[in-house]
Chain A
Amino acid sequence: MDLGPYLLFASLEGLVHAAVLSLIALGLSLVFGVMRIVNVAHGEFFMLGAILTWWVSNFVMGNPALGFLLALLIVPLVVGIIAMFSDLLILRHLKYDPEVTIIATIGILYIIQQFALMTFGPDARPVEQPFNIRLDLYWFGFSAYKFFVIFSAIILLFCVWLVMAKTKFGLILRATQLDSEIAQAFGIPISTVYSLVFGVGAAIAAVGAVLIVPIQQAHYLMGGEPLLLAFIVVIIGGLGSLKGTVVAAMLIGISDGIISVFFSPNLAKILATLLVVVVLLIRPNGLFRTIRI
């Protein structure tokens, strides 16, 4: 392959990861934006989504698309409910104190990770692609499923934007984010809002997981790297900014894809982390913090 097509290939691969990464980062950023807490367990909700997808797809015999669709419907729901319970049982009682919450979510991280290890074992679990079509792109073939991943992520991002910008629920979230005390004084039940946001944040990451397992395999340690990348994305994009999150995820995801293909995945991570340092030096609030939603 020539350099041009090779670059295109690497960018497409990068775009797939960028799509999933933007979902994970969006969940993290939503939780941080509204609740002002750092959820270190976020990557484990992603991992849980992936493992549950494997479990559901094993459960359903016959056409792999059936299992996948079922997983897409119920896995985010289940992960969201688990996250809501961890908010109800743990975080709420800590009054969302920033430092204490970090420690608590580290605890949740290990609980979920060990639970996954004990229940599903240490092996990487493959999930069959729901459909196996290769699109001929003249220079190389590319899996149609990967386009589906990109497309689904775009749809979900658009839906989240729509909810945030155009609905009453979105307005309530934004008001809670801006001033939770005054939000209460106007009848907004902020603890219910917090539980929902924590659940929705985890569920969005779980959607990313359902989409990625047919490409990547499920494993109980797979939550660490996406968490790191999501942090990088959220810092670069500006905490709580939806637009910034998407742009930064594209930037990180695509450059990660290209650098990994041409050089090495490790170099890609090193450069991404370096970028965080640079951005924090020039724009401590992130690239897009001034632009909301």
Chain B
Amino acid sequence: MLIVNNLTSYYSNIKILKELSFNLNQGQVLCLLGRNGAGKTTTLKSIMGLVDKTRGSILFNNEKLSGIPAHYIPKKGIGYVPQGRRLFLELTVEENLEIGLLARKKGKDTKDKVLSMFPRLKERINQISGTLSGGEQQMLALARALCIEPSLLLLDEPSEGLQPSMISLIRNSILELKKQGVSILLVEQRIEAILPVADEVIIIENGSKTFSAYAKEFKDKKTLQNLYNFTGL
């Protein structure tokens, strides 16, 4: 459903991504791993149309995403959970969700469904989102993206700065969404965070794909060793 072909992205003429290619099938979880500055966030931003200068092609359900204005991309059913959450911190929980709902004109049904996944947000619906705890903020960032009822979800380091119980809660949500047929492109730093959910892993180094492996290969000691080597852990 998502086909990225020879994606090359620039920030002010510096080449950040170099001919990156990968596919993501429906209901699959594809993980991008890589060191700091490897270009993981840039990959997600390029898909969202937020990088001014890109080459190559991005196809989503056989539609070309590259070149169309950024604000049309979520309307195609792509939800984005950015690195560092990027909530509208001065708005309430409800207003943040409202922004998500507006993207594809979803209504109360969607909102209720999303809130039932995160009861803690429901209790804090009128709280200013900047005053939520880190874990609650991450839930809200995820909930906001789910308000567009995405068929593809881009998650940028959702476990960053969270304690284990919160990480497993996020992981369970990912598995639940996968079960519902949502495709997920997951960026993480640490291998342990993705092994239980990933169908395929791609290692990015300096903006290029240097290694990839399918879930069934994870048991293979050599593959695992390779993964650890590439991420520098």
Instruction: Say whether A and B bind each other.
Output: yes
- Name the CB-closest residue of A to B52: A95
- Name the CB-closest residue of A to B144: A186
Q: Is the CB of B50 within 8 A of A186?
A: no
- A183–B82 Cα distance when bound, in Å, is 12
Distance in angstroms from B91 CB to nearest chain A CB is 6
Interface segment among A23-31, A171-179, A197-205, A256-264: the answer is A171-179
Interfacial chain B residues near A186, Cβ < 8 Å: 74, 80, 99-100, 102-103, 144, 148
Map CB proximity to B onto A179-205 as digits: 1 under 8 Å, 0 otherwise: 101111111111000000000000000
Distance in angstroms from B58 CB to nearest chain A CB is 15
Question: Does residue A168 face the partner (Cβ distance < 8 Å to B)?
Answer: yes
- A188–B100 Cα distance when bound, in Å, is 10
Interface segment among B3-11, B16-24, B65-73, B112-120: the answer is B65-73
Q: How many A residues have CB within 8 A of the partner chain? A: 18
Q: Is the CB of B69 within 8 A of A175?
A: no
Map CB proximity to A onto B57-83 as digits: 1 under 8 Å, 0 otherwise: 000000000000111111100001010
Interfacial chain B residues near A178, Cβ < 8 Å: 88-91
Map CB proximity to A onto B167-199 as digits: 1 under 8 Å, 0 otherwise: 000000000000000000000000000000000
- A85–B126 Cα distance when bound, in Å, is 39
Q: Is the CB of B89 within 8 A of A189?
A: no
Interfacial chain A residues near B75, Cβ < 8 Å: 187
Q: Contacts A187-B71, A189-B69 known; A182 to B86 CB distance under 8 Å?
A: yes
- A168–B91 Cα distance when bound, in Å, is 13
Q: Is the CB of A174 within 8 A of B102?
A: no
Q: Contacts A171-B99, A172-B102 known; A185 to B91 CB distance under 8 Å?
A: no
Q: Is the CB of A292 within 8 A of B86?
A: no
- A189–B100 Cα distance when bound, in Å, is 14
Q: Is the CB of A188 within 8 A of B71?
A: yes
Interfacial chain A residues near B98, Cβ < 8 Å: 168, 171
Tell me the B residues contacting A by CB distance below 8 Å.
48-50, 69-75, 80, 82, 86, 88-91, 95, 98-100, 102-104, 144, 148
Tell me the A residues contacting B by CB distance below 8 Å.
168, 171-172, 174-175, 178-179, 181-190, 292
